[in-house]
Amino acid sequence: MCTLKKLVCKGLLAFFSCFISTQICTATFLVWDSDSEGHPAGYNVYYGTSSRNYIPPVDVGNVTAYNLDDLDLTEGVIYHMAITAYGTTPGDESEFSAEVQVRYVADDGFPAAADNCPYTYNPDQEDTYPPQGNGIGDACDCEGDFDCDGGVDTDDVEKFLFDFGRSSVNNDSCINDWCYGDFDCDGDQDGSDASLFKSDFGRSAMYNPCPGCTVADCSY
């Protein structure tokens, strides 16, 4: 009979033990203890976006580590993952391991401490919003999180719409009186800003979470 002992996530900085279901690992690898007593033929990796509700497993063979880049995962989404060991006899499969919650992030070649988007694949490290830069890459920036709650939701929409349409044309430029949502720092709150806001709308703590709060502060 196949049995399993431990499953951990390997993140960008260290190993994270994930026995507590509420703990979320930001990871690029899964690592587990081998079943030395049962002599398994291999292991299955199960994953899904809700607890114990998995898509059909991926047979990873007789290994004890697996690169999450090889799965069809969406970056920034939190997945529930578990593994089983299987033997040579049909139907000989262990129970699920302890489940881990993993926020998948691809390896873009930068260590987390130097990466301006450590949880998002961002090999070019581009930082153009706002034009002065804020130390957070465009790939993960979330300036529409006006209330700093980690997501862009209806509360932020209200703030954005309150200032929408302000411009120098109607003598109400953001240069004279700062407004929410002038992401390109041109003094107007217009369609180009709306497009950027729309691209981030719906981000939350569970889906592509916003990085540290960085409400745009233009130096006009």
- pLDDT tens profile 93-126: 888 888 888 887 777 777 767 888 876 778 889 9
CATH for 124-220?
1.10.1330.10
Helices then strands, each counted (H, E), the chain: 2, 8
pTM of the model: 0.55
- pLDDT tens profile 136-146: 888 888 888 98
What is the location of CATH 2.60.40.10 in the chain?
A: 7-104
Share of the chain residues as helix, strand and coil, in percent rounded to the nearest 5: 10, 25, 65
What is the location of CATH 1.10.1330.10 in the chain?
A: 124-220
- pLDDT tens profile 165-212: 998 888 788 888 888 899 888 899 999 999 989 989 998 877 777 877
What 8-state DSSP symbol labels residue 61?
A: E
Phi, psi (rounded to 5 degrees) for 54 = -105, 155
pLDDT value of position 36:
63
Into which CATH architecture does domain 7-104 fall? Sandwich (2.60)
